[in-house]
């Protein structure tokens, strides 16, 4: 294992199971609800995607579809650059951990320090990236993905990047694509973001009231405006829609992943699933719920 800080798991036992065996069982359960991977993506070269990061009981199956698509890609990615929502208010610039590893139940995922250093160098001209391991403390947006990485892509490395909602996402993604090319790394860019957080208990964002029509608007109008930009590989447009409509908690992370994928050769984005927490685990009428989507860049 490379030298450097080994980040301990913060959210095992809450957002996802606390032991390796329980994670294996939960992943098996997720596969029963997992969206199918289109036949034309199997064996294709992939450049990344978008996954949600809620508790597995709500969004695990949605996220798993992307990792299984990568598992069946050709070639399989060596490194996953994970651009993730920065939930900490003190993270004011995109921040990566450049060395070490992240530990989760079942093992540890090493950081690709060569790629991380190349990213820092490529982004130096526009100040779009800093090295700060502490930016990841306590956050779940990357951590909840790592048991899926261990399951689908054992041996793959990561570069973890916490991204606040700042406008430099497209530039960060472009710099990452240049870094990948410069060192000849077979890597993909993954954005970890949820969609609209709707309801009185979600920051008071309930412009359409509550109930079925509010749910329809949140998913089919508000979420969809953001997803249309994602599916068009429009990094700047996705960021602007996410901020304007409060339709993505990680709009800059999504923009970075889109720009990196497009700069690496992606020509299309494929939506695997778009669902809400209420649809996944229905209880009463929809009042407070979150949108989730899984997208693959090919």
- pLDDT tens digit sequence for 260-296: 999 999 999 999 999 999 999 888 999 999 999 999 9
- pLDDT tens digit sequence for 133-165: 999 999 999 999 999 999 999 999 999 999 999
Q: In this structure, is residue 1 part of a structural domain?
A: no
* Helix segments in the chain, DSSP class H: 20-31, 56-71, 113-122, 146-152, 169-183, 212-217, 224-231, 235-245, 251-264, 277-280
In percent, the amount of the chain with pLDDT more than 70 equals 98
Q: In this structure, is residue 249 part of a structural domain?
A: yes
- pLDDT tens digit sequence for 199-252: 999 889 999 999 999 999 999 999 999 999 999 999 999 999 999 999 999 999
Q: In this structure, is residue 105 part of a structural domain?
A: yes
pLDDT for the residue numbered 283: 85
| Count of the separate structural domains present in the chain | 1
The overall pTM is greater than 0.95: yes
- pLDDT tens digit sequence for 83-101: 999 999 999 999 999 999 9
Measured CA to CA, the distance from residue 83 to residue 239 in angstroms comes to: 13
Q: In this structure, is residue 161 part of a structural domain?
A: yes
pLDDT for the residue numbered 4: 84
Q: In this structure, is residue 31 part of a structural domain?
A: yes
Which 8-state DSSP code applies to residue 82? E
- pLDDT tens digit sequence for 1-24: 556 889 999 999 999 999 999 999
Range of the structural domain that residue 59 is part of: 6-297
pLDDT for the residue numbered 203: 85
pLDDT for the residue numbered 34: 95
Q: How far is CA 194 from CA 6, 44, 245, 276, in A?
A: 26, 26, 13, 10
Q: In this structure, is residue 30 part of a structural domain?
A: yes
93: CATH: 3.40.830.10
Report the DSSP pairing between strands 48-51 and 187-192: parallel
Its sign, for the CA torsion 96, 98, 103, 108, is: positive
């Amino acid at each position: 294992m490379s030298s450097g800080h080994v980040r301990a798991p913060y959210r095992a036992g809450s957002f996802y199971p606390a032991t390796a065996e329980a994670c294996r069982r939960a992943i098996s359960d997720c596969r029963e609800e997992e969206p199918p991977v289109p036949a034309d993506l199997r064996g294709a070269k992939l450049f990344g995607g978008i996954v949600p990061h809620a508790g597995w009981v709500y969004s695990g199956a949605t996220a798993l579809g992307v990792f299984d698509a990568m598992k069946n890609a050709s070639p399989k990615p060596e490194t996953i650059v994970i651009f993730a929502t920065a939930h900490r208010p003190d993270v004011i610039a995109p921040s990566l951990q450049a060395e070490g590893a992240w530990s989760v139940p079942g093992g540890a995922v090493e950081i690709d320090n060569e790629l991380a250093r190349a990213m820092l160098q490529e982004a130096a001209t526009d100040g779009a990236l800093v090295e700060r391991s502490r930016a990841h403390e306590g956050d779940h947006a990357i951590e909840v993905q790592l048991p899926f990485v261990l399951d689908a892509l054992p041996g793959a490395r990561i570069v973890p990047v916490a991204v606040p909602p700042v406008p430099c996402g497209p530039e960060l993604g472009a710099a990452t694509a240049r870094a990948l090319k410069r060192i000849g790394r077979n890597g993909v860019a993954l954005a970890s973001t949820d969609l609209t957080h709707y309801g009185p208990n979600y920051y008071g964002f309930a412009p359409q009231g509550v109930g079925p029509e509010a749910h329809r608007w949140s998913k089919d109008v508000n979420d969809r405006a953001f997803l249309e930009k994602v599916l068009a590989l429009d990094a700047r447009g996705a960021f602007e829609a996410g901020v304007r409509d409060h339709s993505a908690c990680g709009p800059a992370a999504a923009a970075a992943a889109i720009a990196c994928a497009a700069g690496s050769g992606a020509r299309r984005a494929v939506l695997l699933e778009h669902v809400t927490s209420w649809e996944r685990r229905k209880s009463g009428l929809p009042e407070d719920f979150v949108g989730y989507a899984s997208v693959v860049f090919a």
